[in-house]
Amino acid sequence: MAEFFVYILASRYRGTMYVGVTNDLSRRVGEHKSGAVPGFTKRYKINQLVYCEPYTSILEARARERVLKRWRRDWKFELIEAQNPNWRDLTPQIIQIPS
């Protein structure tokens, strides 16, 4: 089972994007949504999970993160829209948020 995730957050449809890597997608997305992560994502309200890829190796996940961070915006749009054409926030489908 996957232990690491490369994910893309967006502020809105085709808005500002952030690429990250984590070993706990639930916790990390929760931190972004609550504003607990200072910096870029908090400043630009980037908190919608629009894409993620699972990995079994942190080395593979970090390598993929580096590749995606260098991609052009258009390429990221195509990647996201192949899996999530409406840019829905995938948080409810992918992670468990404690109620």
Q: Is the pLDDT of residue 1 over 90?
A: no
Of 18, 20, 8, the C-alpha closest to 40 is 18
- On whether the 4-94 domain is CATH 3.90.930.60, my answer is no
Task: Map out the domains of the chain as residue ranges.
Answer: 4-94
Cβ–Cβ contacts within 10 Å for residue 3, how many? 13
In tens, the pLDDT along 16-63 reads: 999 999 999 989 999 999 999 899 999 999 999 999 999 999 999 999
In tens, the pLDDT along 68-80 reads: 999 999 999 999 9
Pairwise CA distance, residues 3 & 17, whole Å: 23
Q: What share of the chain is helix, strand, coil (3-state, %, to 5)?
A: 40, 20, 35
Tokens for 47, please give them.
């908190």
Confidence (pTM): 0.93
pLDDT of residue 12: 97
Q: Is the pLDDT of residue 95 over 80?
A: no
